[in-house]
Structure 1
Amino acid sequence: MASPGGRRRAQLIGVAAGVFFGAVLALVSATTAYPEGPWWVSALIGAFAGTGFGVAAGFAVPRQERLLWEVAGADLSRPQFRQAARASLSGRVPEDPRLRQAATRVAVYRLAQHRRPRTSTIVILGAGLGLGLTGSLLSGLTGYPLTLIAAGFLVLSLAWTLYEPVRLRRAILRLHEEP
């Protein structure tokens, strides 16, 4: 089942994410990794990485949206699906009982998907953070700023990995309450 008009929009979101990722990577590469190198090397790094990321996201975003749409229910319109998907993350209870049930199903699905790789994700992020901080300390904290940026990204990713199930459980509890 495909969401009406959603595949093209989701692919455009994937391409836009790839362009953004490539631009940020080119900027970081030009300012930290290769500051003395030619600008076109950083631009090529950003272009190739952004293209790869955009292609991957262009396939992953529509697939994820299609799966969420199937979990929510095929009888929902696009605005109803979006409202149910937002309610599944925030826990704001929709007035319509059909939307409340759809939001609960989507939240339970998201929680199940989040639990699957949780342990390995925590181990990988923790190991990366440990290695990044060790590298930063060994280089004198100012020798290579890219390691501090990577460490900050890993801290945010680890915090999200630990907090997201808590947020989803709270949303499910609010969605199960009577209005």
Structure 2
Amino acid sequence: MKKALKMTLIGVLMIFTFSTYSQTAQFPIVRDFGGIYEIPEATERPDSTLEYRILVDLSTGAEDNKQVSRWVDNIARMINLHGLAGVPKENIKVKVVVHGGAIFTLLNDKNYQGRFEVDNPNTKVFEALKTVGADIMVCGQSLRARNLTQTDLWPGVRVAHSALTTITTYVPQGYILLKF
């Protein structure tokens, strides 16, 4: 009897353990991108009463240009992580300045197709980010250095004078800087 009870308890514990670790991804704010998981044992969580002002310095290019860049998806993850912790969407202010090797993630499908032989997989992520209020900017200096114009890009992006001046403009305004 004791052995049967012990085996039952071990079985229940194993089921609970596996179900905890085999959760499906959640998308509380940015739908379909930036999937995240609840961590019930986490003791450090975002403060749901704060307003988060975040400036993402996105300069890392995609590892595989035929797939969504993990760095672009990471912006959605960051927003979703705050949302899962109870921070309201309106309290998450995100600006993204794209430059360097990441600039190609912003190409429109025609130009992306010409370079990488597929439609730009990042466009849908940028559209989802914009839908939830993220401000997506591209460094004008990076555009010129690569002989690109705004018409070569996804139409939802704004052109900034430079990534450097965008950073020096928003950090003093209380935006925290994240480098991807």
Compute the TM-score of the two structures, normalised by the length of structure 1.
0.27
Higher helix share: 1
Higher strand share: 2
